[in-house]
């Protein structure tokens, strides 16, 4: 009997990178950057090139300040009196964070389908969790605005993972580290074989294979769903994403891991959850 469903956030629940693209393009032309950009056009007009740059520059430390610095834009994220903040606030108001089409409905239906029934073998409702290397402050705000925060039982986020960083090395445990999945299952009190993990990248898949909690002889592999609307297509669409996700991922020890399902729309997630609730 299915016990829990864990959702990745960026690229699975919400098109966050598309929003960052719009923001950085807008901020490029902000008066505070006039002398810095010297009348040049924003160099990452197309989403694909922006995404490539963003992923590369974010990879070492998961720090958005690095993107501002790389683009030579005026920003000090730690200084709340800096003009970047009112500019970002205005942008956020004009561009509210939205979930992918159908995602809100899917989350709600998954939550509803997990309630108690006459079937005595389901003696605990289905639990939902968020597993993200994004900041909880941002993710919670988005979930709340979209009316879905009430469906989740727990989360693992950048702030939580920061507690495990190796002496300040933020990159040491980001995905595909399995620590976040071990923590997520601990919080949801679920077992790997009865836990669905939904993500949009091969790193999500790798991180939920053979997860160790405390016992090295007991490794848990989750039921993995890959979604094609996220970032594995590298800006080239669902078909490209599907071909990437279906190839699976090489793991240490000559093993290869594959998704149990690769899906093209959020309502397919509901079907899969319902199927596993019956098993």
8 Å CB contact between 206 and 253: no
Euclidean distance between CA atoms 246 and 239, whole angstroms: 11
Q: Which is nearer to Mg ion, 17 or 87 (CB)?
A: 17
Binding mask 155-194 for Mg ion (x = CB under 5 A): ----------------------------------------
Cβ neighbours, 10 Å, residue 48: 12
Among 2, 5, 11, 272, contact with Mg ion (rule: CB under 5 A): 11
The stretch among 4-12, 37-45, 102-110, 137-145 that binds Mg ion (CB under 5 A) is 4-12
8 Å CB contact between 4 and 127: yes
Query: Token pair for residue 256?
Result: 């290869």
Residues 197-236 touching Mg ion, rule: CB under 5 A, are: 200
Q: Which is nearer to Mg ion, 10 or 220 (CB)?
A: 10
Among 5, 7, 8, 228, contact with Mg ion (rule: CB under 5 A): 8
Residues 37-76 touching Mg ion, rule: CB under 5 A, are: none
Q: Which contacts qualify for 41-47: CB closer than 8 Å, 24 or more apart?
A: 43/71, 46/235, 47/17, 47/18, 47/21, 47/235
The stretch among 117-125, 140-148, 175-183, 196-204 that binds Mg ion (CB under 5 A) is 196-204
The reply to whether 142 sits near Mg ion by the rule CB under 5 A is no
Closest by CA to 36, choosing from 65, 76, 88, 72, is 72
Among 2, 5, 6, 10, contact with Mg ion (rule: CB under 5 A): 10
Least distance between Mg ion and beta carbon 74 (Å): 29
Euclidean distance between CA atoms 142 and 188, whole angstroms: 21
Least distance between Mg ion and beta carbon 134 (Å): 9
Q: Which is nearer to Mg ion, 180 or 190 (CB)?
A: 180
Positive or negative CA dihedral for 141, 145, 146, 149?
positive
Binding site for Mg ion (CB under 5 A): 8, 10-11, 200
């Amino acid at each position: 009997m299915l016990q829990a469903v864990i959702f990745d956030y960026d690229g699975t629940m919400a098109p966050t990178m598309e929003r960052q693209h719009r923001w950085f393009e807008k901020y490029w032309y902000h008066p505070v950057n006039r002398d810095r950009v010297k009348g040049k056009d924003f160099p990452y007009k197309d989403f694909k090139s922006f995404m490539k740059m963003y992923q590369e520059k974010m990879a070492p430390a998961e720090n958005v300040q690095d993107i501002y610095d790389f683009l030579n834009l005026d920003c000090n994220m730690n200084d709340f009196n800096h003009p970047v903040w009112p500019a970002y606030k205005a942008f956020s108001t004009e561009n509210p964070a939205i979930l992918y089409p159908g995602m809100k409905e899917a989350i709600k239906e998954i939550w509803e389908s997990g309630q108690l029934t006459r079937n005595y073998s389901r003696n605990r409702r289905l639990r939902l969790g968020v597993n993200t290397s994004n900041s909880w402050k941002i993710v919670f705000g988005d979930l709340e605005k979209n009316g879905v925060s009430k469906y989740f039982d727990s989360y693992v986020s950048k702030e939580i993972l920061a507690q495990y960083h190796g002496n300040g090395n933020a990159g040491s445990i980001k995905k595909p580290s399995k620590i976040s999945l071990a923590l997520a299952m601990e919080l949801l009190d679920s077992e790997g074989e009865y836990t669905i993990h939904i993500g949009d990248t091969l790193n999500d898949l790798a991180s939920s294979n053979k997860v160790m909690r405390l016992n090295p002889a007991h490794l848990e592999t989750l039921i993995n769903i890959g979604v094609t609307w996220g970032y594995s297509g590298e800006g080239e669409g669902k078909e490209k994403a599907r071909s990437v996700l279906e190839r699976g991922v090489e793991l240490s020890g000559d093993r290869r891991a594959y998704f149990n399902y690769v899906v093209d729309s959020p309502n397919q997630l509901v079907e899969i959850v319902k199927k596993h609730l019956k098993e």
